[in-house]
Amino acid sequence: MPHQTSVLPEDMISPVRDFPKVRACLFDMDGLLIDSEDIYTFCNNVILQQFGRPCLPWTIKAQLQGRPAPESAEIFHAWAQLPISREEYLLKQAALQRINFPTTQPLPGVAGLLANLTASGTHIALATSSHAVNFKLKTAHLQPLFSHFAERNRVLGDDIRIPKGKGKPAPDIYLLALKTINDELTAQGQKEITPEECLVFEDSVPGVEAGRRAGMRVVWCPHPELLKIYRGREHEVLAGITGMLRLPDEVEQALDESGAKGRVVGRPGKIGDGWAELLITLKGFPYEKYGIEV
């Protein structure tokens, strides 16, 4: 069941209720499809404890999730203050990940959700910040699960089509994932899918903002510990307004002005606008709510 929260009346706007049918679902991977986020934490903690540092708290972990590796590294090392070089840290981290990433498992409800979406004819694509090497380590043993994503519909974090500095929470990765689907539809002479017809599945806060700024609907299914960090701010996350992406004031103003009459790609949402919801689990997903027939 969706997690319910309360919002002050003045924070609310009239929610949209007449959405078009969802024709495409776009998925994050780490912590959403597979349990790799907990493995990342384990590997980091092993190294931290070697140098007498405390385990990684969720207040910091929440800032790392979903972001491109260089940005996450800056945040992590600013907090960790380890007495080794970043290069040495990366070597230690990679060694632990090579051992542990091949043990990843699907999270509850994921296998059934992907199977049902495929059977329903809903288009799906992957949009993950993981680079190709780690993607292979995490997924090689899970081919039945990831076979639902055609190779052309997998957008990874080191995809050269994503401009430098434009990883999540920027919308580029989700717009590119949609483009991979639309390129195929165009080649077949079929109608392209609009952002409003897309549903993004995310566990991270930057990822939710990326989906919202892409002009898409979003399902946020966070780790229980992440949800604790954002307790009382759930609606801000769903609107994509937690300040993860900072644009120049003039850009934000232009987006606000251009979005006065509706959704605009690049602009976050509004609290209570109906474009996103929080789910505790992907088990029992409400397909009918999104016009998906299974």
The residues assigned a catalytic role are 28, 30
Burial degree of 57 (CB within 10 A; 0-12, 13-18, 19+):
exposed
User: How far apart (Å, rounded) are the C-alpha atoms in residues 67 and 130?
Assistant: 9
Using the structure block, give the residue that is written with the tokens 């009918």.
288
Task: Please list, in sequence order, all residues whose beta carbon lies within 8 angstroms of the beta carbon of residue 216, skipping any fewer than 6 positions away.
Answer: 26, 174, 178, 195, 196, 198, 199, 200, 275
Closest of 165, 200, 158 to residue 33, by C-alpha = 200
Closest of 280, 283, 282, 277 to residue 19, by C-alpha = 277
DSSP per residue, 36-99 = HHHHHHHHHHHHHHHTTPPPPPHHHHHHHTTS-HHHHHHHHHHHH--SS-HHHHHHHHHHHHHH
User: How far apart (Å, rounded) are the C-alpha atoms in residues 146 and 154?
Assistant: 10
Indicate if the alpha-carbon torsion angle 200, 201, 205, 207 is positive or negative.
Answer: negative
Task: Please list, in sequence order, all residues whose beta carbon lies within 8 angstroms of the beta carbon of residue 279, skipping any fewer than 6 positions away.
Answer: 2, 3, 219, 220, 221, 285
